[in-house]
Amino acid sequence: MPNTKKAKNRADRKDTLKKVLQRIKPYWPLVTLSILAALVTVAATLYVPVLIGNAVDRILEPGKVDFTAIWRILTQIGVVVLITAFFQWVMNISNNRITYHVVRDMRQEAFDKIEILPLKFIDAHSYGEIVSRVIADVDIFADGLLMGFTQLFTGLITIAGTLVIMLTVNVTITLVVVCITPLSLFVASFIAKRTFSMFKVQSETRGEQTAFIDEMIGNQKVVQAFGQEEKVEERFCEINDRLQECSLQAVFYSSLVNPSTRFVNSVVYAGVGLAGALAAIGGTLSVGQLTCLLSYATQYTKPFNEISGVVTELQNALACANRIFELIEEEPQIPDAPDAVHDLQADGSVELEHVYFSYVPDRKLIEDFNLEVKPGQRIAIVGPTGCGKTTIINLLMRFYDVNKGTIAVNDTDIRHMTRHNLRENYGMVLQETWLKAGTIRDNITMGKPGATDEEVLEAAKATHAHSFIKRLPQGYDTFIAEDGGSLSQGQKQLLCITRVMLCKPPMLILDEATSSIDTRTELHIQNAFARLMEGRTSFIVAHRLSTIQEADKILVMRDGNIMEQGNHEELLQANGFYAELYNSQFAI
């Protein structure tokens, strides 16, 4: 089992790395520029010890110092340092551009995918966890990628260049360095293989913590109202402790890389110093050359420290990238057919034939559901919680596709229409309001961006929203925060109803649309809806049966099936399940 897990982690790491390289590929000109700049930077940096060694050899003994040659060498060193600084700047600019272009593309891909993911994915994952992938994981990936570009290229080129120059100076001492080097590579590789899985667990736990915080902040009033502060704190501490534990493990193992490689590097430096000193005493190596070799030994070993650090960061970055790619590669919703109808103007006729649907395969919900709705009819859907009322709405709007059967609008299967075309024929008001950060006017005109001020005013007056809007500081230009800010629940719902009133679609879906409205305002809204619903097909989901007594047809649902149907009077006379529900409202 452990071997299988290791193999899977290794495969995940390689697969993720391949995907990262594919996203870097479009920016190959910048990558090429970065590599060229790194080559020049390393070459110039490696040339400086040669010049220093030459300068040392010009200092022979007291009274015999060649100041002219030394001054010339110092001038050369100054020029080389300036060249190094310029090309290092070019390399850093290129690396930054590559990193943030790749990160921008990945965030865009992730957000685009969220837009087309089926609702079942959103329902199955917490919002905070999804946000954590798009924001926190991408940021960590960016840090690792930037460090990789900045230090990995220069490190590898420095190692190769240093070895070549050291070979030209002294082959024996270079062989000493080469023999000890594999030990450093082994240590870095050993630790890196064990840190990927740890960083992956750390990233997942961080996402879980973000999701929990997001949920608790969004529902702080409920938590406090029911005195759940201590339990919430305990749950947070439990997640936080797990994050601490997996983070400590990941950081501990990754932190071993630097001291381990530094120890090996010190052994390399000592080996070069000892072998070089013996060669200098034997007369086969000058003092300047020994100085040069010691400098190269430092430059040769330094990239191993940097690369080992980069490898550690890359493990973390790849673990985060893996979670991002999981989101990007999620199966999208079934796309619209190429020949799908995109301009159908619904007359309001809707037909459901032998519809079967369940959210989970082993839990049946709706079975053999049949319904025929004529244009202009008002259809009320009632029943106990969990009977499938809201599910019918999800299917009508094609938020979910039926498992079996057909739903047709104007005798056209909705799967043969584009989703946009289908949904623009519906006006929808839910029990849960949704308002975006923006002005009151922006929120009302969401479904009809080109609406005139007169149209907005007319819709607001029809829903009786105008009276509270005009009392706001800037009226219709008042800016509200996400989800309505300081507006009451009733006011937010009035704005959502006004939004639909402005669009005047041929079909309406009202899912407990007046649940947060006071009784007096509700009467006004009912009158407004009555005018709006004239000639329009309406689906009304309600728990309060008093709100749907005027419906043309009432569907009484239970366990995903229609138990009864008819108008209010007919169902009361039948003295069945509907009559039982209706009379239960007045039970003491």
Query: Phi then psi for 89, rounded to 5 degrees?
Result: -65, -45
Task: List CB contacts of 7: < 8 A, sequence separation 6 or more.
Answer: none
* Model pLDDT, residue 406: 92
User: How large is the average pLDDT for residues 246-255?
Assistant: 79
Spatial separation of the C-alpha atoms in residues 410 and 408, rounded to whole Å: 6
Q: How confident is the model at residue 192 (pLDDT cuts 50, 70, 90)?
A: low
- Please give the model's pTM, rounded to 2 decimal places: 0.66
Mean of pLDDT over the chain: 80
pLDDT 10s digits, 500-546: 888 888 888 887 766 656 666 667 666 666 766 777 888 888 766 66
Query: Phi then psi for 520, rounded to 5 degrees?
Result: -65, -45
* DSSP 8-state secondary structure symbol assigned to residue 561: E
The answer for 283, left when phi > 0, alpha when psi is -120 to 50, beta otherwise, is left
Neighbours of 148 (CB within 10 A): 21
CA 60 to chain centre: 65
pLDDT 10s digits, 348-388: 889 989 888 888 777 778 888 888 888 888 888 887 777 77
pLDDT 10s digits, 292-310: 777 777 777 677 666 666 7
Per DSSP, the three-state class of 553 is strand
* Model pLDDT, residue 86: 93
Where are the chain's structural domains?
A: 19-25+99-328, 350-584
Longest Cα–Cα distance in the chain: 125
Which residues make beta-bridge pairs with 539?
379, 509
pLDDT 10s digits, 551-570: 888 888 877 677 888 888 88
Spatial separation of the C-alpha atoms in residues 177 and 171, rounded to whole Å: 10
C-beta of residue 95 within 8 angstroms of C-beta of residue 34: yes
User: How large is the average pLDDT for residues 326-348?
Assistant: 85
pLDDT 10s digits, 97-140: 888 888 888 889 888 888 888 888 887 777 777 888 888 888 88
Q: Is the pLDDT of residue 1 over 60?
A: no
For 370, the token pair is 């049949």
Q: Is 238 exposed, middle or buried (0-12, 13-18, 19+ CB in 10 A)?
A: exposed
User: How large is the average pLDDT for residues 205-209?
Assistant: 84
Q: Is the pLDDT of residue 3 over 60?
A: no
Q: Is the pLDDT of residue 6 over 80?
A: no
For 136, the token pair is 């926190």
323, 326, 332, 338 alpha-carbon torsion, rounded to 10°: 120
Q: How confident is the model at residue 164 (pLDDT cuts 50, 70, 90)?
A: confident
Residue 98, amino acid: I
C-beta of residue 525 within 8 angstroms of C-beta of residue 517: yes
Spatial separation of the C-alpha atoms in residues 264 and 182, rounded to whole Å: 10
CATH superfamily to which 350-584 belongs? P-loop containing nucleotide triphosphate hydrolases (3.40.50.300)
Of the chain, the percentage scoring pLDDT greater than 90 comes to 2
Q: How confident is the model at residue 408 (pLDDT cuts 50, 70, 90)?
A: very high
pLDDT 10s digits, 452-475: 889 989 888 888 888 888 888 888
Pick the more confident residue, 225 or 79. Answer: 79
C-beta of residue 373 within 8 angstroms of C-beta of residue 350: yes
Q: What is the torsional sign of CA 475, 461, 540, 423?
A: negative
Q: Is the pLDDT of residue 25 over 90?
A: no
Q: Which ranges of 25-66 would DSSP assign to H, the alpha helix?
A: 28-57
Gyration radius from the chain CA atoms: 35
Spatial separation of the C-alpha atoms in residues 511 and 508, rounded to whole Å: 10
For 506, the token pair is 């041929």
C-beta of residue 254 within 8 angstroms of C-beta of residue 312: yes
Class of the domain covering 19-25+99-328: mainly alpha
Spatial separation of the C-alpha atoms in residues 280 and 450, rounded to whole Å: 86
